[in-house]
Amino acid sequence: MLFSKTCEYAIRACIYIAQQSGEDKKVAIKEIAKGIDSPEHFIAKILQNLSKKGFINSVKGPNGGFYMDKKNMKTTISDIVLLIDGDSLFTKCVLGLKQCSENKPCPLHNQYKHTRKEIIELFRNSKIGQISEQVDLNETFLKLK
């Protein structure tokens, strides 16, 4: 697994919010939880964190909820992963060796480094805004049944 469950939910939630909301239209936790098929209370915690870090916007009270402003549409998958899971996927030795490096490579280092580069590029180039457009066009899907 590339991501923790928390991170999977976070990414899905961000895409959902980007796709469903605007300055005018907010979405509530309950709707998000249903929309991305995640435990309501769990995603609430995650949204709290994303909001605190400014990845999503939130408004309390009636007609409140979460939305994403233009700036946040530029958030990348990489940004979310770094926030939730940290940089280990992008930097840690694939075999878990503390001192693995270009100079002292672990037995998988040299083969894996190219793949890792691709993973990094891929997630760095994936912007929430652009991804949510594909969902809008029914090219890709967030919830499947």
Q: Please say whether the beta carbons of 17 and 67 come within 8 A.
A: yes
Beta carbon nearer to DNA, 8 or 102: 8
Q: N- to C-terminal Cα distance for the chain? A: 22
**DSSP-derived 3-state class of residue 39:** coil
φ/ψ (deg, to 5) at 131: -65, -40
**DSSP-derived 3-state class of residue 23:** coil
11 in contact with its own copies (CB under 8 A): yes
Separation of alpha carbons 69 and 56, rounded Å: 8
- Sorted by sequence, the CB contacts under 8 Å of residue 97 that are 6+ apart come out as 106
Binding to DNA by CB under 7 A, coded x per residue (else -) over 56-85, reads --xxxxxxxxx-------------------
Q: Please say whether the beta carbons of 36 and 12 come within 8 A.
A: yes
Nearest to 44 by CA among 36, 53, 32, 56: 32
Beta carbon nearer to DNA, 133 or 142: 142
Q: Residues 81 to 140: which contact its own copies by CB under 8 A?
A: 88-89, 92, 94-100, 104-112, 114-115, 118-119, 122, 126, 131-132, 134-135, 140
Beta carbon nearer to its own copies, 64 or 117: 117
Beta carbon nearer to its own copies, 23 or 121: 121
Using CB under 8 A as the criterion, which residues of the chain lie in contact with its own copies when the complex forms?
1-3, 5, 8-9, 11-12, 15, 37, 77, 88-89, 92, 94-100, 104-112, 114-115, 118-119, 122, 126, 131-132, 134-135, 140-145
Using CB under 7 A as the criterion, which residues of the chain lie in contact with DNA when the complex forms?
4-6, 9, 26-30, 38-42, 44-45, 47-48, 51-52, 58-66
